[in-house]
Amino acid sequence: MATFKDVIAGEKPVLIDFSAEWCGPCKMMVPILDQVKDELGDDVKIIKIDVDKNQQLASAYDVKGVPTLMIFKDGSLKWRESGVRQATELVELIKSKS
């Protein structure tokens, strides 16, 4: 099984969505992330991480609120923001980090 470090280590940008089942704004991100995936296809990996089930990882990345979105490329953090973001903004961010 791949570790988190393995997942973010690739050349392809990885969009991480730290979220929680009980979080209303997190639920709003689902169709937005689907739009991003539809637009960028295989040019991006999108991974949803439940902070309640992955508390150690959330703590390691200092996730205080959900949703918290992060873009990684080549193993390093390129962008981070908390709150709901629109698909167009995320697509542009991912393209600019590629």
How far is Cα 34 from Cα 68, in angstroms, rounded to an integer? 17
Query: Residue 13: is the preceding peptide bond cis (ω within 30°)?
Result: no
Active-site option among 7, 23, 46, 57: 23
Nearest Cα to 84, choosing from 97, 98, 66? 66
How far is Cα 20 from Cα 11, in angstroms, rounded to an integer? 28
Known catalytic residue at 77: no
Active-site option among 26, 36, 49, 70: 26
Known catalytic residue at 23: yes
Structure tokens at 2: 């791949």
Active site residues: 23, 26
